[in-house]
Chain A
Amino acid sequence: MKALTLVLGLIALVPAKQAQFVAVDIYANSDGKGLAAWQIELDCDPSKAKIVGVEGGEKPPYYDPAALQGGRIILASFTTEPQPPAGRVLVARVHLQETGKTDYAVKVMAAAAPGGERIEPTIDLVRTGGK
């Protein structure tokens, strides 16, 4: 699928001796086009990290509870703003409880500019908090 962009965010982690709470910020860069709607999948090792919250804007992104059972989270959000933010945008912050070393992978399942035009933003992850 052409619209499907796969980005692997490989984040080196220090070994965690005890459970720690961290945040993974998901940025989307739509190359100047406003990001009106998007759906992203974030994967991690469910035995090493559990998602404990999703943040982002006035209305935090929604998630698919069924997908969550498999140790991944599918997030989606949209805005009806006529000029949604463009450039590198923090679309979601995922709070996690890490109990071990894990990598995070993210893929864009779909994204659209105002008017419904499909776009292919690039994604990068920034992990904050913890040790």
Chain B
Amino acid sequence: MRTRLLAAACLLALLGCAPGMSPSRENPTPSEVRTTTNQFGALEFSLQPRRAIEEEKVAEPEVIILERLKEQYKKPQDQEPGPAPIEIPRGGTLQTRVQDRVVPLPLKHTDVKAQLTLFIGSVTVTQQYHNPYGSKIEAVYAFPLPDDAGVRDFVMQIGERRIRGIIREREEAKQIYLEARRQGHVASLLTQDRPNIFTQAVANIEPGKQIDVQITYFHTLRYQEGTFEFVFPMVVGPRYNPAGFQGGVGAVPAGATGSSGQKTEVQYLRPGEISAADIALEVTIDAGAEIAEVTSPTHAIRVDRTKVTLSPNDRIPNRDFVLRYRLAGGKIRAALATHRDASGGYFALMIHPPEKLADVPRSPREMIFVIDCSGSMNGRPLEVAKRALTRCLKRLEPDDTFQVLRFSDRVSAMASAPVAATPENVRRGLDYVASLVTDGGTEMQKVVQVALDYPVAPGRFRIVSFMTDGYNGNDREVVSFAREHLGSARIFSFGVGDSVNRYLLEALARVGRGASTFVTLDEATERAADELYQRIEHPALADLRIDWGAMNVSDVQPQPLPDLFVGRPVVLCGRFKGQGRAAVRLSGRAGERPVELSLEVDLDEPGLRHAALPSIWARTKIAGLHDRAFGAPDSREYMEEIRRLALNYGLMSEWTAFVAVDSLSRTEGSFGTTVVQPVSVPSGVRYDTTVEKK
């Protein structure tokens, strides 16, 4: 039997067709930054023309703002961040189901199975669609996947029959789907609207029938401080789109199709409504070493040695699932994974920062803290962000300077320019943070410009930290804007919430050559704030150069190579031609000190093979191209390169799509009614400040 298995595997490897085996293979241009002073001496910034500023003032009566701020100032200031309050599970309970009205919808159930091997996750998501109505429907569902997911496989199941979808250019796939839908064939189309937002359409589901769609993706896991983190997003948060912008992601009430005017739209259930759709999740961990601890800060889980499942009482898909596990001894089994096929070799290498980084003295910092005070942060998200920011302010060193910027659809600042971190100024900063309230939409581009366009004081290193849920529809444009305005600064993003826009936060950190940190609403804020601060507090290993030696490496991703921060390894992917053992030498600079590292790798080590590496390499390369595509004058070239890569590696992208048609099943009549699957707003997010603003 073993011989047979090996023979089959070898044969398929020769054939090069097994899964994962590779083939032969506008921004508004603000003309000026205007500043005004509010009643507390804080500066307000606007990138809008003068007329818009005047209109804004009319729309926001000054008296109301003053009263709100006064109320805030009455609150106890400089509160010590205590432990997170104990809350009844917010994900929904049986009681909630009884009280809320269950809306009949096409999505019945989602089943997630993840296999975590080394630092690579292979995840299969099965969505079960059914037709609870009396006539034929088309089901449409916008859902999230991780922003770095390389979606590689798509299978539509009708009864016992399984049809593997075909990767095509997006428009071509769409036309095939529309024609199949028109002719009454059961068909499905998977498109990507953002790196982390996908739309599934299933046509011609007859009454009482069920059609399953199975999506498989790969990605690398976060690993820091000896802990792996696996995240599965479950709901797209409601995005805000700047006035006049139409390429965003709209948030509309259930049934209000097209009312946002945005290219992509997510519909949300109203308060008191609930979908019967639930989710099951099973994660198998193959770490190659004993697992010392498995935890989830977001969900109730059951752990059976290496298998983790969601508790049956915690299956409402209204927040990200986060799973963390730590290996006994704190060391991972291996840092290198390889794969070879007909097109050559692929590798992923986890590079750990040198421990001595923590001993290198840091240069004075100019800290720009940016806090999101838009409507989606109303309530607990803003509380958590304020606690994190408070903790950061208290950790400033006397020779640092700092500034606090708040933003919604307007920007205001604690001071006219960054100030020295004297005890008085820190106190002023704490007071300012305590006074913040939510108000308005999430127009992030303004604050990105303000934060990055201050003249940098000589001898200082600027670090900009964005604390936000990232719920803005023009996220791609914000990332592009940040990349263009970065200068010598570094961006550290700090995601706050249970279903944050991880694409925006990760991409800001990526183009900003910094790092990202996330805190969910039930977690101890201190952990995340300390994690952020640890990255900032010590110099990074910058200007990284790598001599790959006998590995004979090409096309290493991501580019440019990221800096290495204390406690946070990075994963580099690339292609190689070498064999056997090789020495890899890294050099860089920590502050003013040169730093060198070396590690030995064995390219022929049989235990470290992973067939997903071609997909992961191509997906990482696509992410870098995507960051550069928006706002670039030669964006068409980037998009064409993404399209070519995605088609060659069978990957989803914004310019490719999966389509599957069952030519043998043809239903009668027209394709029926299109039913868009609405979702709950994420836990911790208010419907009335995001979807239907009151």
Using a CB–CB cutoff of 8 Å, the interface residues on chain A facing chain B are 19-23, 36-37, 39, 50-55, 57-69, 74-76, 78-80, 82, 95-97, 109-110, 112, 114-116, 128-130
Q: How far is the CA of A128 from the CA of B666 in the complex (A)?
A: 13
Determine which of A19, A21, A62, A128 lies in contact with B18 in the assembled complex, contact meaning CB atoms within 8 Å.
Answer: A62
Q: Are B647 and A64 in contact, CB atoms less than 8 angstroms apart?
A: no
Q: Residues of B within 8 Å of A, CB-based: how many?
A: 49
Q: Are A53 and B8 in contact, CB atoms less than 8 angstroms apart?
A: no
Determine which of B24, B649, B659 lies in contact with A67 in the assembled complex, contact meaning CB atoms within 8 Å.
Answer: B24
Residues of B near A62 (CB, < 8 A) are 17-19, 164
Q: Are A110 and B155 in contact, CB atoms less than 8 angstroms apart?
A: no
Q: Are A58 and B162 in contact, CB atoms less than 8 angstroms apart?
A: yes
Q: How far is the CA of A110 from the CA of B6 in the complex (A)?
A: 16
Residues of A near B155 (CB, < 8 A) are 60
B165 on interface, CB distance cutoff 8 Å: yes
With a 10 A CB-CB cut-off, give which of A39, A53, A55 has the most chain B CB atoms: A53
Q: Are B661 and A116 in contact, CB atoms less than 8 angstroms apart?
A: no
Determine which of A39, A54, A65, A80 lies in contact with B4 in the assembled complex, contact meaning CB atoms within 8 Å.
Answer: A80
Q: Are A65 and B12 in contact, CB atoms less than 8 angstroms apart?
A: no
With a 10 A CB-CB cut-off, give which of B9, B23, B24, B166 has the most chain A CB atoms: B166
Nearest-neighbor residue (CB-CB) of B647 within chain A: A69
B93 on interface, CB distance cutoff 8 Å: no
Q: Are A54 and B166 in contact, CB atoms less than 8 angstroms apart?
A: yes
B328 on interface, CB distance cutoff 8 Å: no
Residues of B near A78 (CB, < 8 A) are 8-9, 11-12, 18
Q: How far is the CA of A98 from the CA of B17 in the complex (A)?
A: 25
A30 to chain B, nearest CB (A): 14
Q: How far is the CA of A129 from the CA of B7 in the complex (A)?
A: 37
Q: How far is the CA of A63 from the CA of B649 in the complex (A)?
A: 11
Q: How far is the CA of A96 from the CA of B180 in the complex (A)?
A: 11
The answer to whether A37 and B663 touch (CB under 8 A), given A21-B180, A60-B164, is no
Q: Are B23 and A51 in contact, CB atoms less than 8 angstroms apart?
A: no
Determine which of A23, A50, A116 lies in contact with B7 in the assembled complex, contact meaning CB atoms within 8 Å.
Answer: A116
Nearest-neighbor residue (CB-CB) of B656 within chain A: A65
The answer to whether A116 and B179 touch (CB under 8 A), given A39-B15, A62-B18, A65-B649, is no
A39 to chain B, nearest CB (A): 4
Q: Are A75 and B17 in contact, CB atoms less than 8 angstroms apart?
A: yes
A48 to chain B, nearest CB (A): 14
Residues of A near B156 (CB, < 8 A) are 53
B16 on interface, CB distance cutoff 8 Å: yes
Residues of A near B663 (CB, < 8 A) are 21-23, 52-53, 95-96, 129-130
Residues of A near B162 (CB, < 8 A) are 55, 57-60
Determine which of A37, A51, A57, A67 lies in contact with B12 in the assembled complex, contact meaning CB atoms within 8 Å.
Answer: A37
With a 10 A CB-CB cut-off, give which of B3, B15, B650 has the most chain A CB atoms: B15
Q: How far is the CA of A63 from the CA of B12 in the complex (A)?
A: 12
A34 to chain B, nearest CB (A): 10
Which B residues between 648 and 692 are near A, CB-CB below 8 angstroms? 648-650, 659-664, 666
Residues of B near A51 (CB, < 8 A) are 166
9 contacts between A and B (CB under 8 A): A39-B12, A76-B17, A76-B18, A78-B18, A110-B11, A110-B15, A114-B4, A116-B4, A128-B664
A57 to chain B, nearest CB (A): 8
Residues of B near A95 (CB, < 8 A) are 163, 660-664
Residues of A near B161 (CB, < 8 A) are 55
Nearest-neighbor residue (CB-CB) of B152 within chain A: A65
Q: Are A55 and B11 in contact, CB atoms less than 8 angstroms apart?
A: no
Residues of B near A63 (CB, < 8 A) are 17, 164, 166, 650
Q: How far is the CA of A36 from the CA of B183 in the complex (A)?
A: 37
Residues of B near A37 (CB, < 8 A) are 7-8, 11-12, 15
Residues of A near B163 (CB, < 8 A) are 53-55, 60, 95
Q: How far is the CA of A114 from the CA of B1 in the complex (A)?
A: 9
B143 to chain A, nearest CB (A): 22
Residues of B near A96 (CB, < 8 A) are 663
Q: How far is the CA of A50 from the CA of B163 in the complex (A)?
A: 15
B185 on interface, CB distance cutoff 8 Å: yes
Residues of B near A97 (CB, < 8 A) are 176, 179-180, 661
With a 10 A CB-CB cut-off, give which of A36, A76, A115 has the most chain B CB atoms: A76
B632 to chain A, nearest CB (A): 25
With a 10 A CB-CB cut-off, give which of A63, A66, A115, A129 has the most chain B CB atoms: A66
Nearest-neighbor residue (CB-CB) of A51 within chain B: B166
Q: How far is the CA of A64 from the CA of B17 in the complex (A)?
A: 6
Q: Other than A116-B8, A129-B663, give 15 A-B pairs with Cβ distance below 8 A.
A: A39-B12, A52-B166, A52-B180, A53-B660, A63-B164, A68-B166, A74-B17, A76-B12, A76-B18, A80-B4, A95-B163, A95-B661, A95-B662, A97-B176, A97-B180
Residues of A near B12 (CB, < 8 A) are 37, 39, 76, 78
Q: How far is the CA of A23 from the CA of B681 in the complex (A)?
A: 42
Residues of B near A54 (CB, < 8 A) are 163-164, 166
Residues of A near B166 (CB, < 8 A) are 51-54, 63, 68
With a 10 A CB-CB cut-off, give which of A19, A52, A96 has the most chain B CB atoms: A52
Residues of A near B58 (CB, < 8 A) are none
With a 10 A CB-CB cut-off, give which of B1, B187, B664 has the most chain A CB atoms: B664
Residues of A near B243 (CB, < 8 A) are none
B5 on interface, CB distance cutoff 8 Å: yes
B163 to chain A, nearest CB (A): 4
Nearest-neighbor residue (CB-CB) of B167 within chain A: A65
A28 to chain B, nearest CB (A): 15
B25 on interface, CB distance cutoff 8 Å: yes
Residues of A near B14 (CB, < 8 A) are 110
Residues of B near A115 (CB, < 8 A) are 3-4, 7
Q: Are A55 and B164 in contact, CB atoms less than 8 angstroms apart?
A: yes
B66 on interface, CB distance cutoff 8 Å: no
Q: How far is the CA of A82 from the CA of B4 in the complex (A)?
A: 8
Q: Are A82 and B647 in contact, CB atoms less than 8 angstroms apart?
A: no
Q: How far is the CA of A96 from the CA of B664 in the complex (A)?
A: 11
Residues of B near A66 (CB, < 8 A) are 22-25, 647-649
Residues of B near A50 (CB, < 8 A) are 168, 172, 176
B10 on interface, CB distance cutoff 8 Å: yes
Nearest 7 Cβ contacts at the A-B interface: A116-B7, A66-B23, A76-B17, A65-B650, A21-B663, A60-B164, A39-B15
B182 to chain A, nearest CB (A): 9
The answer to whether A19 and B660 touch (CB under 8 A), given A54-B163, A62-B17, is no
Residues of A near B176 (CB, < 8 A) are 50, 52, 97
Q: Are B185 and A21 in contact, CB atoms less than 8 angstroms apart?
A: yes
Residues of A near B664 (CB, < 8 A) are 23, 95, 128-129
Nearest-neighbor residue (CB-CB) of A80 within chain B: B5
Nearest-neighbor residue (CB-CB) of B162 within chain A: A60
Residues of B near A112 (CB, < 8 A) are 7-8, 11
Residues of B near A129 (CB, < 8 A) are 663-664
Q: Are B164 and A80 in contact, CB atoms less than 8 angstroms apart?
A: no
With a 10 A CB-CB cut-off, give which of A37, A63, A96 has the most chain B CB atoms: A37
Determine which of B7, B22, B24, B164 lies in contact with A53 in the assembled complex, contact meaning CB atoms within 8 Å.
Answer: B164
B150 to chain A, nearest CB (A): 12
